[in-house]
Amino acid sequence: MKGGNKNSGRRAVIDMRPDKQEIIKDIVLGRRTLTEIAKRIGVDLTTIQRYRDNKITEEMRRAIMAEQRIRQVEAETEIVNEDRMDVANTYEALARRVEKLITKAEQNEDDAFALAAMEGLRKVLRDIATMQGKLATALTVNVTLAEAKEWVTLRRILQEVCDEVPAAREPLLRRMRHHVLSVTKEDGGVGI
């Protein structure tokens, strides 16, 4: 028996679970403590620690963290858009109420009140038009990896390594294309 070797062929308990992705997210995002995770799935704390240290790659961690950030931005954007719609709905309800007052004043032949209500309605409609113009564009947020500080730094490092070791350029570019990463031409040569 090979013991604690990572390549022993024995699958980790977490890898066999249908909720594997959620457990990994719990570990990476710290949504639950490792002890809570261990109790929930019925394993020892050291099992969770080994899985965290040996199975969760840095790439997996970064992907989960990026996904979490995007979800948070989308949720906050949705709240802002809902608040904007609440304001618009409030103005529209106010306009309907003023219209009812005008109709009632006209039925009671109260011309002075009807005229005052119409002036109020004109102001409400102007405010609605202004608000609708402001709300016409829903707030959207775009996250671009190409502009991220870390990606710019990584690109620069990869470029420096390829300049230092020219034989590395072709295999690196081939792998980047295979994984559909951006490859551009810069300064007349092939850039990363």
Domain ranges (residues) in the chain:
14-56, 79-135, 145-190
Q: Which residues pair with 186 in a beta bridge?
A: 189
pLDDT on residue 65: 87
19, 26, 28, 29, 151 from 22: Cα distances, Å: 5, 6, 10, 10, 27
Q: How far is the C-alpha of 11 from the C-alpha of 167, rounded, in Å?
A: 37
pLDDT on residue 147: 64
Point out the least confidently predicted range of 6-15, 31-40, 98-107, 163-172. Answer: 6-15
Q: How far is the C-alpha of 137 from the C-alpha of 81, rounded, in Å?
A: 9
7 — pLDDT class (breaks 50, 70, 90): very low
Q: Which residue has the tokens 């792998």?
A: 175
Average pLDDT score over residue span 75-94: 74
Q: Is residue 49 pLDDT above 60, yes or no?
A: yes
Q: What is the pTM of this model?
A: 0.44
In whole numbers, what is the pLDDT of the chain averaged over residues? 77
Q: How far is the C-alpha of 174 from the C-alpha of 176, rounded, in Å?
A: 5
Coil, helix or strand for 185?
Answer: strand
Q: How far is the C-alpha of 180 from the C-alpha of 168, rounded, in Å?
A: 18
The answer to whether the beta carbons of residues 73 and 141 sit under 8 Å apart is yes
